[in-house]
Amino acid sequence: MSGERQSRANKEDHPVETAPSMEDRHVASVAVAVDVVPFGLRDGALHAALVRVGHADEAGLFAFPGGRVQPVESLDVAARRCLERHLSPTGSFLEQLYAFGEPGRDPSSRVVSVAYLALVPQTEEAPGVHWFPSSDLPPLAYDHGAVADKALDRLRGKLAYTNIAFGLLADGFTLAEFQKVYETILGRALDRRNFRKKVLALELVRPMGRVRHGPHRPAELFQFAQRALTTVETPLTKKG
Amino acid sequence: MSGERQSRANKEDHPVETAPSMEDRHVASVAVAVDVVPFGLRDGALHAALVRVGHADEAGLFAFPGGRVQPVESLDVAARRCLERHLSPTGSFLEQLYAFGEPGRDPSSRVVSVAYLALVPQTEEAPGVHWFPSSDLPPLAYDHGAVADKALDRLRGKLAYTNIAFGLLADGFTLAEFQKVYETILGRALDRRNFRKKVLALELVRPMGRVRHGPHRPAELFQFAQRALTTVETPLTKKG
DNA sequence: ACAAAAGTGTTCAAAGTACACCCATGA
DNA sequence: TCATGGGTGTACTTTGAACACTTTTGT
C-alpha cells in the first residue's frame, strides 16, 4: 500500500531517499502484470496450461497466460480475466501466489508480475492453449520456470492441509480417482484403506448415493462437502 | 512475468483484449510500491512498527514503512531498503507476504503494493518509528489494516511449522522466554515440560552452556540451531 | 469361472497430552 | 528460610502406519 503518498511521507520524515521519486515523470518506471498458472488433470496426471509467446526475445517459447493490469481493475480481476481469455471455465479456483519483480526478468522492460495459481477441473481443449505435464514443461519464457516451481510447491503444500483438490475434480468422482490426485501431485503412493478412512473422517467428501459402472465392480461416487478452501488440522498425507 | 511482451503475444493469438494496452502511453497507469510490516517483541508482547503519514488524505494516520520500487531494484531489495531506512538492524528476517492491488486502496493514485513481513530481534528505538502492540494497532492509512491482518496470520501459521521465531529472539534466551513468544503470538498457554521436550527433540534450539542469573534459580541460555527458515514436520504448537 | 478393481477392520508403533514434584538461587 | 521461577519423568490417549481378505461386477 501507500505508494505515492507513503513515499512522500517518508521523505518528509527521513530525507535520505535513495533515489529521486518517479512520481512526476511521464514514463512508467515499473509496470504491473499478472501471470496465471493453470493446473488441471489429463489422463490422471497433473498438467499446466501454456501459450506461445508471439515475438521478440522470447519468441517461440511458452509462457503462462498473463497480461498487464488495467488501471481500473484489481489484481484478482486481472488474473481472472487473463485466465478466462484462454480457458472458458468460470468459477475456477484462483489464488494469488507470489510477486516476481527481478529487474531483468523481462528483458524488454521492467515488469513486476503478480503470479496466480489456478485450478481448472475439466481440462478441455481451447485454441492456442497447450497442456504439458507439470513434471515435464518445455523451456519457458521470462522467469516462468521459477513461477511454475512456486506454483507446484504451493499446490503440494496446500494439498496436505486443505481441501484444495476440489479445484481439480468435478463432483462425481471415485475414491480411487481422488486418491490418484494426491499420489500424482505428491509423487508417492498412499494406502487405500487409510486414505478412505481419513477423508471420510474429516468429512472432506460425501458419498452421492450413485455409482459408476466400469469393467468390474461399480465404484461409489463422491462429491466435496465444501467447494471453498478449507483448512484441516490433521494432514491428509503422511502415508494414508 | 511476461508483462509487455506477454501482453503483445496474447493479443496476436487472441484479439479479444479487454482494454487498449498502456504500453506506449506516457503516464504510468499502475505504480508499484512495497510496504514492510516489522514485528518485534517489547515487554514480551508482539509489537509492530509504524510511521506517521505526513500529509494529504491520510495525514496523521499511521502506516507501515514503505515506498516506491525503483526502476533498477528488485522487490526484495526495495523492501529491505524501506525497512532499513527506519530500523537499523541489518540481517532481519524479511519475506514477501502478499500483493495488494485494489484500485481504491490509495485514494490519490493507483498503486499496487507488495507487502513484506519483517522480524526484528531487538526493538530498539528509532526516530519517527512508533511501536504498537499488534493486538491494538491505531487507525491505519490505506488498506494497512488488511496488511497487518495478513502479516499476523502468516506469522502465526509459520510459527507452528517453522523456526521463524529466530527472527524475534537474539541468541542467549531462556526457554521461558522462547515459550512466551509462542504463547503471546498464538494467544494460548502451552505446557512447559512438553514444550521443552519438543523443541529439544526437534533440535530447534541448543543449550549454550551459559546461564542467566535472575532473582531466583538461574536459567539455562539457548540459541537457535539454524538461523535460516527451516520447516519442521511435526507442529510445535498443539498444546505443548 | 475368473479377472480386476472396490470395499472393509485390526494390530502395532509413535506422538501428543496431561499432570506434580524437586531444585537452585537471591533475598 | 522461603519465595520464585527452573528443571524433570511417567501414564494415558490419540493418531498414524502397516497389512490381507472378501465382494461385486463384466466378460
B146 shares its domain with B37: yes
What the block records as the C-alpha cell of B240 is 505443548
- Domain membership of residue A131 as a residue range: 29-145
B99 shares its domain with B168: no
C-alpha separations of B94 from A216, B15, B228 in Å:
55, 41, 11
Q: What is the CATH number of the domain that holds A178?
A: 1.10.10.10
Contact indicator for B219, B211 with CB cutoff of 8 Å: yes
Of A4, A96, A100, the CB nearest to B1: A100
B108 shares its domain with B220: no
Per the domain annotation, does A9 fall within a domain? Answer: no
A73 shares its domain with A131: yes
The radius of gyration of chain A's CA atoms, rounded to the nearest angstrom, is 21
At residue B25, does pLDDT exceed 50? no
Per the domain annotation, does B212 fall within a domain? Answer: yes
Per the domain annotation, does A234 fall within a domain? Answer: no
Per the domain annotation, does B14 fall within a domain? Answer: no
CB contact under 8 A, B13 and A52: yes
Give the distance from residue A75's alpha carbon to the nearest chain B alpha carbon, in angstroms: 6
Average pLDDT in the B167-192 region? 96
B142 shares its domain with B66: yes
Number of domains in chain A: 2
Whether A100 has its CB under 8 Å from any CB of chain B: the answer is yes
Among B150, B174, B209, where does a domain finish? B150
A125 shares its domain with A72: yes
> pLDDT, tens digit, for every residue of A116-155?
999 999 777 899 999 999 999 999 999 999 999 999 999 9
A93 shares its domain with A134: yes
| CB proximity list for B66: less than 8 A, separation 6 or greater | A1, A2, A3, A6, A7, A10, B33, B34, B35, B36, B82, B113
* pLDDT score for B12: 34
What the block records as the C-alpha cell of B13 is 493469438
Bases in strand D with any atom closer than 7 Å to a protein CB: 3-10, 15-20, 23-27
* Count of beta carbons in the 10 Å neighbourhood of residue B226: 12
Provide the chain B residues 15-44 that lie in CB contact (below 8 A) with chain A: 16-19, 21-23, 26-33, 35
Mean model confidence pLDDT for chain A:
88
What the block records as the C-alpha cell of A217 is 465392480
* pLDDT score for B113: 98
A78 shares its domain with A131: yes
B123 shares its domain with B83: yes
**Cα A42 from Cα A121, distance rounded (Å):** 10
A141 shares its domain with A185: no
Q: What is the CATH number of the domain that holds A118?
A: 3.90.79.10
Per the domain annotation, does B174 fall within a domain? Answer: yes
Per the domain annotation, does B231 fall within a domain? Answer: no
| Residue B149 main-chain phi, psi, to 5 deg | -60, -45
A79 shares its domain with A141: yes
Q: Which residue(s) pair with A42 in the sheet?
A: A45
At residue B20, does pLDDT exceed 70? no
Provide the chain A residues 112-141 that lie in CB contact (below 8 A) with chain B: 112-115, 128, 141
> pLDDT, tens digit, for every residue of A80-99?
999 999 997 778 999 999 99
Among B109, B128, B150, where does a domain finish? B150
Per the domain annotation, does A236 fall within a domain? Answer: no
Q: What is the 3-state secondary structure (H, E, C) of A153-172?
A: HHHHHHHHHECHHHHCCCCC
Per the domain annotation, does B240 fall within a domain? Answer: no
Which residues lie near nucleic chain D, judged by CB under 7 A? A 191-194, 198, 213-218, 234-235, 238-240; B 174-176, 192-194, 196-197, 211, 214-220
> pLDDT, tens digit, for every residue of A190-203?
999 999 999 999 99
B112 shares its domain with B139: yes
What the block records as the C-alpha cell of A156 is 503440494
* pLDDT score for A19: 35
Whether B150 has its CB under 8 Å from any CB of chain A: the answer is no
